[in-house]
Amino acid sequence: METILLLAHTEIDGSLAKSAREALHAAATLHKSLAGSKLVIGLIGENVQAAANSIAACPATKHLGVTGADFSQSRYATDAAAAEAIFKAAQATVIVAPATSRWARVLPGVAQRLGGRVDTHVTGAAAADGKISVNRWYYKQRMEGALTRTQRPWFIGVDPGSQTACDCGAGTAEVEMVAVNLTEAQKRTTVVGLREPKADAQTIRPDAQLLFVTGAGWTKKQADGQTHVPEAEKLILGFLKATRASLGSSKSLVDLGGEGQAVLPFLSHLNQIGQTGATPRHAKGLSTCCHGEEPHTVGWRFINERRAISLDPNCGWARGKADVLYVADAFAVMQKVNESLATKT
């Protein structure tokens, strides 16, 4: 009989992130499909009561918490100690956690300490005939594998964005506190601050509805024999500002910087979509000035509705990679789109 533990950490403001609710959805799905199983919630943070209350209506039999100032920040030693203590208090066999950067670096170590196994980048979990199976993608999202394990404890890191978030309602949860005695050595590392790009410079937005992809065409000579990089920059940033879309790029465009050519300064390899880049999940995608070659479009695997603007009617997008291809000048199209967006804001 499985005891499924949802292991989550709170955010700085004490709330639960969407990724935690997604992992809870996966844990609750397993619990529902496994007769006789138990669901336990384990929360870590400075104070976890508000987070526990926000999901009080979920079908958990128990809420456990490790709290205090020592557990407010992401730190391997204290997070691992807290996870281990909650695991023991819950007597869990299967531990489901959101694969946030905080948990992703801690859980494999905890699994090792406890003689368990861990699966990372899990995108699906199900149970049938008393057997749990999880899904994950291999070889840059080209092959999907489903696997089961007999080893317990089994730690499952659920990729953010891969599940629907659990919508169980709020209430009042009774949280049982679990004591963790930390040594001074475990508190040696201190987070002195967080540095992140300004909101406007942060162009990668995993939660955005739309992925806007820029290709090398934006920096190529146009019909007048000239390049128009400053104009391209204005059009792209204008569109992003108006739509809050996430910015993706082809490899060719982000590589140009290294080759000494004119580039768009707000792009880095982190924006690259494709075989050697990212495979994001957005409802819609719009590609501009990109040829749509296979190594690029393989990164669009999880984009549901795809459109592209390219001058080339024989580009990859025209060969079944896009739902709609506009054979047009992206400079002219985006100019009109931005004008139209400006009248709506």
The residues that touch ligand FAD, with contacts defined as CB under 6 A, are 215-217, 220, 222, 250-253, 272-277, 289-291, 293, 295-296, 299, 309-312, 315, 329-331
Find the shortest distance in angstroms from Cβ 240 to ligand FAD: 18
Q: Provide, rounded to whole angstroms, the least separation between the CB of residue 183 and ligand FAD.
A: 45
Nearer residue to ligand FAD within complex by CB, 161 or 295:
295
Q: How near is the Cβ of 337 to ligand FAD at its closest, in Å?
A: 13
Spatial distance between the Cα atoms of 277 and 253, rounded to a whole number of angstroms: 13
Q: How far is the CB of 334 from ligand FAD (least distance, A)?
A: 9
Nearer to ligand FAD, 70 or 255 (CB): 255
What is the C-alpha to C-alpha distance for residues 120 and 123, in angstroms, rounded to an integer?
Answer: 9
Write phi, then psi, for 14 (nearest 5 degrees): 85, 0
d(CA 338, CA 330): 12
Min dist CB 279 to ligand FAD, Å, is: 9
Q: In the complex with ligand FAD, which residue's Cβ is closer, 118 or 273?
A: 273
Are 136 and 145 spatial neighbours (Cβ–Cβ below 8 Å)? yes
Q: Name which of 42 and 299 has its Cβ closer to ligand FAD.
A: 299
Q: Which residue's CB is nearer to ligand FAD, number 71 or number 331?
A: 331
C-alpha distances in Å from residue 266, one per residue of 233, 255, 263, 296: 9, 13, 9, 20
- CB contact burial 102-113 (16+ within 10 A = b; e otherwise): bbbebbbbbbee
Per DSSP bridges, beta strands 38-45 and 124-128 are: unpaired
CB of 251 to ligand FAD, least distance (A): 3
| Residue nearer to ligand FAD on the CB measure, 5 or 245 | 245
Specify the DSSP class assigned to residue 243.
Answer: H
